[in-house]
Structures are given as structure tokens and as C-alpha cells.
Structure 1
Amino acid sequence: MESNTVRAQASIRRRQLLIAGGAVGLGSLLPGVASAQSAWPAKSIRFVVPFAPGGSSEIVARSTAVELSKTLGQSVYVDNKPGAAGNIAMSEVARSEDLHTIILGHIGTLAVNPYIFDKLPWALKDFKPVSLLAKVPSLYVVNADLPVKNLKELIAHAKRNPGKLSYGSAGNGSAGHLAFEYFKMASEVFMLHVPYKGTGPMLTDLLAGRVDASAIGAAAIIPFIKSGKVRCIATGSAQRLPQLPDVPTVAEQGFPGFEMTQWYGMLAPSNMPQANIDKLAAETMKAVKAPESQRRLTGDAAEAIGGTPEQFAQFIAAEQERWKKVIARAQIRPD
């Protein structure tokens, strides 16, 4: 009987040792598991641009993506997803669950769409702001054959030819649409709006003379200005641009306080862990301030900004308050 008791106690002791050993082994693995879970990004990041290729949005996104790819340890690639004034891409990214999809936020999608659409397939709460990336001044340009060299001449020409002059934009509610309507309100001049599906196709018709004028982000249009294919008659910036020192601002031409800049920022789906947001924001600030990025953006008259998620959230709120008044007065509606 005693020997049976001894054997039972020994068996229990062996099981206890095995359990303890297993626990120690599992404990030694946990730091590795935690490390693997926190190792973000774990694969390539898709940076969605909700517009067609060829505009300022792509220039800003690609410049940022190149620098982020150097510091995040994974490639960041740009994926253009145009349509429905950016709402198709915004809706898709809002539902993304892979934690490796982000999107380019823009004055059109964030400060205009909430006020021109009766119902959006996404909401601002579906996203977390990451960082403001860049601001790009709008340039007011005309077809090279239009007989005007400044805003005064454009206004006079439009009044002599009522209903005959047109301006193109990347679409209803786009930054270019907003910029020209803002100018029309300030100058009390009428020009017909012709919306396109992106800056690229609109620019094709502007160069061909099928539309007379446009307001376009500096990054996308400066090469065409320098080549003489279009004529820049005013800049929407607060000061003259170093790239176009002879072109006066809108404010200089009789409209004090007038300023129109497009802006671009980064957003992530709301399910993105805050730790990932903070890491992405920190690396994004480095990316837009990197010498190569600064060189690319400055060359296209874009101003690199950067900033925290909190600062970008405050900026979006201020821009919404600013532009909803212009949208209501101009009665801007979606396509």
C-alpha cells in the first residue's frame, strides 16, 4: 500500500514538473509573439489616391510614398481609384480591414463632399487623420490663344462675350471647381463650368481650346505654363511664386485677401490601431521634410507641411467651416 502511495506521489510530481516546464517554455515565446504582433507594417502599404492620374494629388502621394518606403521597411505604392468625386475610393478604404491600406485626403473629399452630397457612402468617423502632407496653390490659367493676359482682361472678355466662355475642372466639387467658383464670386463674372473625370482629361481639352480656362494645382500645370502651352494669369497663393515671379497673385489684381490653395493629407481607416497611426504620422512627417521630398515638392510649387494627427483633425474642421459657405452660395452640386 505504501509503495503504491509513493508511486502515485511521484507521478503527480512528474506532471507538476511537466506543466511548470511548459509554462516556462510558453512564457519564453510570448515576447516573440508580442513582437510579431507589433511589427507593423508587415507587408506593402497601399496608398489610395481617389482621383485619376495626372494631377497634383498623384505628385504629392508619390513623393510621400517614395520616402516612406525608405523608412517603414516595406514598400508604399500608389493606387489611383477615381470616380464619384473621390467617394468610391473613400468608401472602399473606410471598409478596409487589412491594416495596410491608407488614403490621400483632399480639400474636395473632406471639405466639399460632405456639403454637396445628400448622403455619402462613408463618414468622417470612418477614418483617422494621420498627417497633413502638402499645400498646393491654385493657378488660374487660360488657353494660350485666348486674348487675355491678366484677370482684368479675363473679366472684361467674359462680360463682352456673355455665356460664351467656359472653364474646366476635374469634376463637380473638385478643388479646381471650388477655386474658380470662389473667383467668380469675388469678381461677379460668369463663366460656364465644364466638369471632367480628372485633371488629365480636362487638361487635354484646355490645351486643345475646347475649354477656355481653369484653376489647377501648381504642381500639375507649371510645366505647361513654362512651355507656353497655357498662360497663367494669376496665382491663388498669398505671395508670388518663385517659379513664376512675373505672375501676380489674385489679391494683387484687385481682390485683397483672396487666397486659394489645394491641400492633401493622409487618412487611415478607423480600425487602424493608434500605435500604427502614431508610427505612420511620425514617419510621414520625416518623409515630407526629407531633402529629396522637399526638392520634388518645391520644384512643383507645393509646400511640404507635415504635422500630428490632432493638428490635421483641427485643420479639416476649420476648412469644412470655411468652404461650406462658398458651396452654399455657389450652389455646387455633384455630377
Structure 2
Amino acid sequence: MHPLTRRRLLHAAVASGASLGFPAATRAQAWPSKPIRLVVPFAPGGSSEIVARSTAVELGKTLGQTVYVENKPGGGGNIAMAEVAHADDQHTLILGHIGTLAVNPYMFDKLPYDPNKDFKPITLLAKVPSLYVVHPDLPVRNLKEFVALARSKPGKLNYGSAGNGSAGHLAFEYLKAAADIFVLHVPYRGTGPQLTDLLSGRLDAASVGAPAILQFIKAGKLRCIATGSKGRLPLLPEVPTVAEQGYPGFEMTQWYGLLAPANLAAPNADKLAVEAAKAIQSKDARERLAGDAAEAVGNTPAQFAQFIAQEQVRWKAVVTRAKIKPD
């Protein structure tokens, strides 16, 4: 056989790859090719857990690979963010959050990651309304009474949060600034430990994402005195918003989005964005989140990136005013 003819046949065989039995290395590999790890930078038990698991279940269906959730708390979320920022296996994602993306850059003098350069925004998954709650033993029925009590005893009441710079910390500092009150902050390492003390009465108050505490409100173990949402929540129609109770324009919601390391191949990131938005907008995911008063979003990477930038401007001012520092 002529050498030129032989070369042409070889090229044709490589082009057809799979049909002629050539190894996978000669063909474009499908993604994902193994289970995906979704890292949550907080302890189990909070709103982040509910959003992450709702996303993982539906995303696993659309991608055809298992998506498993791994909680990795510590450092205000910085430990997990730094690890995922440098992950190069193309199968590690992280749950982005108001704290790690919009607060930590202004709270810490130096971060082990760059929120704007080390990650690719994939989609904003969900917004979770912050609820302002008190232990039932505290003699207040609404926000007006709480503010009056706090003003009569400056520094005597306390509130807990999942840690410095957490959404609950921001939410309460935002309220303190709006109402001009002084309430002592007690930071915990995660929502779970904080709720333990709140339910036992060792804490007076807190602001927590709706999914984590709705069951306790309905059971009478906590009293909701206001919601941070724009309008009243269908699951708590009797509870007025902060804005309704004398603070027009006040709004406080936590938010969670899906991020990938910046090195995720562009075609894979594009595919992930489409499938993640589809997953969080699925009927099952929306119903699961709505049952916890959370709103499913599912926007584009460009829209999510713009949202992050806007939130960074907003919360830089809050962090500076409240002089929020890490533990």
C-alpha cells in the first residue's frame, strides 16, 4: 500500500475514534465523568444546607451524575472557598453566599481567595428571607415592643448569629442601625449551635433564614416579630415585615448561588449553568424551597456576576458602619 494512502486511512480511523475502537483519549470526554462534590462552607443545619441539598438532588438528575454535599465550615467560609478556588479536578463546586462573596472581602484584611477572580459565577440559586425572632420568654410580641425594650435596657439584650460576618449577623446589625438600638452580639460556629442556645433561652433573639426556623415558629418554640422580606410571607401571613413596622424600604434576604473554580473549562461551565438553572427551577425544587419560604431563582452567569457586584457595594457600607471584624 502506498504510504500516502496508509496515512489517509489512519487519519480517517482517528476521526471516527469510537467506531474503530480507539481509546477514549482520542475523543472528547463527556462532562461530568464522575460524581460532583458540592461544598457548603458552613456547618450543617442552616439555610445553606436546605438550598444545597435541594440543588444537588435535582442537578444530579439533569447531569446524570451524583452530586453530593460536603459541609466544610471554618473561618467564616474562607477555608472552603480557598480549597475550592484551587481545585483542579473539574468536578468540585461550591455554594456561594452573601457572606463569602459580599462581606468577607471587606471584613478580613486579607483573604486566601479572590471572590471575583478565583471563581466562575454559575447561577443565583435562591433567596431566603431573614426572620427576626425572639425566645417566647422575652416579653415582646412585635418589632415595636422589641425596640422599646432594647432602648430601655441598652446592651442588656443579646442576639446570636452563625458567626461574625454571617447573614444573621449582617441582618441584625442592619436592623440595629435602622432602629438605633444597642443589642449585644454573640457569635457561634454555625446556625445549629446558635439555634440550640436560642431554643433553650440562653439567647434573647436572632435573625435566621426562614428554612431553618419555620418549624420552631409554628411549634411555638420561637416567636417571629418581623420578616425581612418586601412583603408578608404566605407561610407567616400574620407576621408584618420590618418595613411595615416603621422602617420603610427595609429589606434583608440571604442568598445562595453556585460557583465553580475559575479553571473549569468554558464548555463545562456553560453546560453547568444551563443545567443548574433548570434544576433549581424544576417543580420539585421550587416546591421544596417554597415549603421553607425560600424563592428559587436560576439566572444566567452574567446576571449572577452583576448581582454579586451590586451586593458587594451594598454590604461594604454595612460592614464599615458596623465595624464588623472576624472572630
Shorter-chain-normalised TM-score: which range? over 0.9
The one-letter code matched in structure 2 to 1:168 is: G
Deviation at residue 317 of structure 1 after TM alignment: 0.1
Cross-structure match for 1:145 = 137
The correspondence for 1:102, drawn from 93, 101, 106, is 93
Task: Using the TM superposition, give the Cα deviation of residue 211 of structure 1 relative to its aligned residue in structure 2, in angstroms.
Answer: 1.0
Shift of 1:35: 8.7
Whole-Å Cα distance in 2 between the matches of residues 238 and 20 of structure 1? 67
Q: In the alignment, does 2:11 pair up with 1:23?
A: yes
In structure 2, what is the Cα distance between the partners aligned to 1:237 and 1:20? 67
Structure 1, 22-31 or 302-311: larger mean CA deviation: 22-31
| 1:105 partner SS | strand
Picking from 291, 295, 301, the partner of 2:293 is 301
The aligned amino acid for 2:85 is A
Q: Is the 8 A contact 2:17 2:26 kept in 1?
A: no
The 5 Å alignment of 1:199-214 reads 199-214=191-206
Q: Distance in 2 between matches of 1:281 and 1:19?
A: 41
Structure 2 regions of 5+ residues with no counterpart?
none
* 1:175 aligns to 2:167 (yes or no): yes
Letter in 1 for 2:128: V
Q: Structure 2 CA distance, aligned partners of 1:111 and 1:282?
A: 24
Cα distance per residue 1:182-216 (max 9 Å; x no partner): 00000010000000000000000000111110000
Instruction: Render the CA deviation track for 1:118-140: whole Å, top value 9, x for unaligned.
Output: 00000020000000000000000
2:274 maps to 282
Is 1:191 matched up with 2:179?
no
CA distance, structure 1, for counterparts of residue 14 and residue 29 of structure 2: 18
Coordinate RMSD, CA, aligned: 1.5
Match among 137, 160, 180 for residue 152 of structure 2: 160
Report the TM-score when normalising by structure 1.
0.93
Q: Structure 1 residues 35 and 27 mapped into 2: Cα distance closer, same or farther (>3 Å)?
A: closer
Aligned-pair CA distance for 1:26 = 2.5
Greater helix fraction, Structure 1 or Structure 2? 1
Q: Which amino acid aligns with 1:95?
A: H
Range with greater deviation from structure 2 (152-161 or 240-249) = 152-161
Partner SS state of residue 244, structure 2? helix
Q: Cα distance, 1:244 vs. partner?
A: 0.3
SS state at 1:129 partner: strand
Helix, strand or coil for the counterpart of 2:130? Answer: strand
Q: For the structure 1 residues 271 and 203, does the alpha-carbon distance in structure 2 shift closer, same or farther, using more than 3 Å as the test?
A: same
Distance (whole Å) between structure 2 residues aligned to residue 207 and residue 94 of structure 1: 36
Once the two structures are overlaid, the 10-residue window that deviates more, 273-282 or 101-110, is 273-282
Alignment match, 1:113:
104
- Whether the 8 Å CA contact 2:45–2:212 is kept in 1: the answer is yes
Deviation at 1:14, TM superposition (A): 5.0
Deviation for aligned residue 1:158: 1.4
Q: Deviations over 1:33-71 (max 9, x none)?
A: 589534100000000000000000110010011001111
The 5-angstrom pairing of residues 1-335 of structure 1 reads 14-29=2-17, 33=24, 36-124=27-115, 125-335=117-327
Change beyond 3 A, Cα 1:278–1:159:
same
Corresponding residue pairs, total:
323
Question: Could you tell me which amino acid in structure 2 is paired with residue 27 of structure 1?
Answer: A
Greater CA radius of gyration, 1 or 2? 1
Report deviation, 1:162: 2.4
Distance in 2 between residues matched to 1:26 and 1:240, nearest whole Å = 62
Same amino acid, percent of matched pairs:
67
